[in-house]
Amino acid sequence: MDSVIPVNEPLLDGNEKQYLINCIETGWISSEGPYVNQFEALFATKVNRKFGIAVCNGTVALETAVLALGIGKDDEVIMPAFTIISCAAAIVRAGAKPVLVDADPVTWNMDVNQVAANITPRTKAIMVVHIYGLPVDMAPLLAIAAQHGLKIIEDAAEMHGQTYNQKPCGSFGDISIFSFYPNKHITTGEGGMIVTDNPELAAKCRSLRNLCFIPEKRFYHEELGYNFRMTNLQAALGLAQLERLDHFIQIKRAMGQKYHRLLHQVPGLQLPLPTTPFANNIYWVFGIVLTEEIPFNALVAMQKLGALKVQTRPFFYPMHLQPVFHKMSLFQGEHYPVAEKLAERGFYLPSGMALTEEQIHQVAERLQAILV
């Protein structure tokens, strides 16, 4: 058997090199360089938003969004149990309380039917997270938010190029965010983007990103900010990647369709849903869940695949089972059976942009080999 099939590998064969060379030749490498504004403007346009604020990763984009909305002590934010820790961390660090809802067993997104019952007088926002390639059903959430005067924070970190009912993901939140980590649909190495239509929120995010400097009075501060700035080098990569987003989405959809064709008749596997009434999957990752007939869990399956040189990653580990939150007396005794099952039985296959057709066939073959 030849080399390891990596779980992710980005494609950097557009204008990336040319734009990076331009940074070096002009000496513009900091956040003051011209690519940052260009990347922000083009990105915001692509998701139908007025303002884009580039930051150094998706995690701090979430943190900035929560702070800009003024969420803090005694406030509650409803969010999915099945997601990355960045979501809950942003709420906890702001001094607010994350309130969890379970996942839908078929889409793996938050179960929107569980949101209303969790609203209290303290609820300030719903943090919506689109998981793995399919958007959350936004219409009922937007209705609930409007009815109760709640803000929407939309985590579209896995959703560049995806739409919900023909509208871009990232266009639904009071503030929406993206990540450009190398396994995302477009990458800047490390990076993130905040988008909004509200000029005051945009100004607040810009200020928080840049230490809350005051333009008229440098080094004089009325608020405490952060250095969350994106460099010109990162934005150069981002711009070149963004030029090819449509092509990247085609690659991902073709990958998903190939995996489906090869795996849909294999017993013991729950595959991602190819379509919902409001979107076609863009397969940020090709996740699978082992059904009850498989006598071992995801961890064992991943070890077996690793021995056959197929890299995989586990699904998210639910927020209510995180020791760090138990130490803070959060989520004790809470149970979200779908999120727990997804963590126990779910993992994802190699899903990167550079994955070849041959590698997809090899992954499918080796996966079937470990299941018998």
Query: Catalytic residues, which ones?
Result: 184
Task: Check binding of 86 to ligand PLP (CB under 6 A).
Answer: yes
Hey, which residues does 24 pair with through a beta bridge? none
Task: Check binding of 179 to ligand PLP (CB under 6 A).
Answer: yes
Taking CB under 6 A as the binding criterion, the range among 25-33, 79-87, 233-241, 291-299 that sits at the site for ligand PLP is 79-87
231 versus 362: smaller Cβ distance to ligand PLP = 231
Task: Check binding of 287 to ligand PLP (CB under 6 A).
Answer: no
In 3D space, the residue among 227, 276, 256, 247 whose CA is nearest the CA of residue 350 turns out to be: 256
Query: Can you state the angle between helices 58-68 and 85-93, rounded to 10 degrees?
Result: 40
∠ Cα 240 245 250 (to 5°): 140
- Give the per-residue contact string, 47-76, with ligand PLP (x = CB under 6 A; - = no): ----------xxx-----------------
In 3D space, the residue among 292, 294, 295, 345 whose CA is nearest the CA of residue 318 turns out to be: 345
**How many Å apart are CA 261 and CA 245, to the nearest integer?**
24
| Total binding residues toward ligand PLP, as defined by CB under 6 A | 13
Q: Which amino acid is at 291?
A: T
User: How many of the other CB atoms lie within 10 Å of CB of 318?
Assistant: 26
Structure tokens at 20: 């990076």
19 versus 181: smaller Cβ distance to ligand PLP = 181
Taking CB under 6 A as the binding criterion, the range among 90-98, 150-158, 227-235, 294-302 that sits at the site for ligand PLP is 150-158
CB of 242 to ligand PLP, least distance (A): 16
Residues 83 and 89: beta-carbon distance below 8 Å: no
Hey, which residues does 229 pair with through a beta bridge? 55
Taking CB under 6 A as the binding criterion, the range among 15-23, 155-163, 271-279, 327-335 that sits at the site for ligand PLP is 155-163
User: How many of the other CB atoms lie within 10 Å of CB of 358?
Assistant: 9
Task: Check binding of 129 to ligand PLP (CB under 6 A).
Answer: yes
131 versus 367: smaller Cβ distance to ligand PLP = 131
- Which residues make up the interface to ligand PLP (CB under 6 A)? 57-59, 83-84, 86, 129, 155, 157-158, 179, 181, 192
